[in-house]
Structure 1
Amino acid sequence: MFWLQMQMEALGGFIDKGGPMLLALGVLVFILWTLVFERIWYFQTGVKKDIKAAVDAWEERAERTSWAAHQVREMLISRARQRIEALLPMVATLVALAPLLGLLGTVTGMIEVFHVLAVTGGVAKATLPTMSGMVIAISGLFAKTYLEQKAEVTSKMLEDHLTMDH
């Protein structure tokens, strides 16, 4: 319990030093990683059901070589791809937004620093949001890349499962 209290006090001090943009970055990182973990969970559990539904719908077709069959195949792939790639644009947006919020914190912090530099040494308010935003962006970039690659491989796998042999 004492350890948790010390960590909370350290976090409070970090936010006090970094200014209000760190709170915005905290909300952003929470949303970002919630979406990332949701997509990871989906790839571990739900994607199999979506692929099976598409494959089953395709396999139920008696005829798979006509133009209409090709259009049905493309529709099945497109619907599955929508579910596979869901939330990825939001993850990409949040990753791009993190350094912008950090820079906004830098600008607002610099304005305050110029007013009180001699008294409080407020340089931390100008640098901590930038650093935090960059750390969030870098970690989110890795997650975004992983999820995009996973979505691409999964979509290709679905295309391979919907054979055109009939």
Structure 2
Amino acid sequence: MDFQSAMSGLQEFLERGGPILNWIMILTFVMWAFILERIVYFTTAHKGVTEKAIQEWAARSDHSSWYAHAIREQMVSEVKQRASQNVELIKTLVAVAPLFGLLGTVTGMVSVFDVMAISGSSDARSMSSGVARATIPTMAGMVASLSGLVFSSQIERIAKRSAQKFADQLGVE
């Protein structure tokens, strides 16, 4: 399949799904951009962040005072914050995707009812585009949500585990 036919197929799919499908596509791209950012962070930068913090802690001469305990807690908090950055946003986008699909369902059904009101009958052929506008966004919202759900829970688990591992390395209770 060449690029031209793939693009025309995508354009036809987006037109059949109605304007809400464009929003679902944008939402999915944004969600996956954040997911990929987190994956890249954990594979490239997170180890460096924790090693730098461990080196800073090891360079301190005082490890037992109240002040040292506060600094240790701050380091753990900063590593935890960096590890869980954008995780809540990803989870929100995962939750919003089916709602956009539901919005597409409602707008598609409204167009079906408009066709029925204009034609005065329930002609299946004339209602088919509205039914497509009702079902395609629902499917797209669910697919987007399911694809992001797997990775968002994985990323959240990795973030919690790495923050706990770092806290254990510094000896935080």
1:60 CA displacement: 1.2
- 1:96 and 2:95 aligned: yes
* Greater mean alpha carbon deviation, residues 51-60 or residues 2-11: 2-11
**In the TM superposition, what whole-angstrom CA distance separates every residue of 1:6-58 from its partner, at most 9, and x where no partner exists?**
11111111111110011001101111111100100000011011101211111
Ranges in structure 2 where 5+ consecutive residues have no aligned partner: 117-122
Give the structure 2 partner of residue 134 of structure 1. Answer: 142
Per-residue CA deviation, residues 87-125 of structure 1 (Å, 9 max, x unaligned), is 111101111110011101111111001122632412110
In the other structure, the counterpart of 2:23 is 24
1:135-156 Cα distance to aligned partner (Å, 9 max, x none): 1011111110010011011101
By how many angstroms is 1:163 displaced? 3.2
Distance 1:99 1:71 in 2: 43
TM-score normalised according to structure 1 size: 0.93
Amino acid at match of 1:147: I
Equivalence for 1:72: 71
Query: In structure 2, what is the Cα distance between the partners aligned to 1:116 and 1:50?
Result: 59
Query: What residue number does 1:155 align with?
Result: 163
Superposition RMSD on alpha carbons, in Å?
1.3
Greater CA drift, 120-129 or 2-11: 2-11
Equivalent in the alignment of 2:151 = 143
Find the counterpart in structure 1 of residue 128 from structure 2: 121
Shift of 1:71: 1.2
Q: CA deviation at 1:67?
A: 2.2
**Aligned length in residues:** 163
Q: Where does structure 1 differ by over 3 angstroms across 4 or more consecutive aligned residues?
A: none
Aligned counterparts of 1:110 and 1:143: Cα–Cα separation in 2 = 32
TM-score relative to the length of structure 2: 0.90
2:78 match: secondary structure: helix
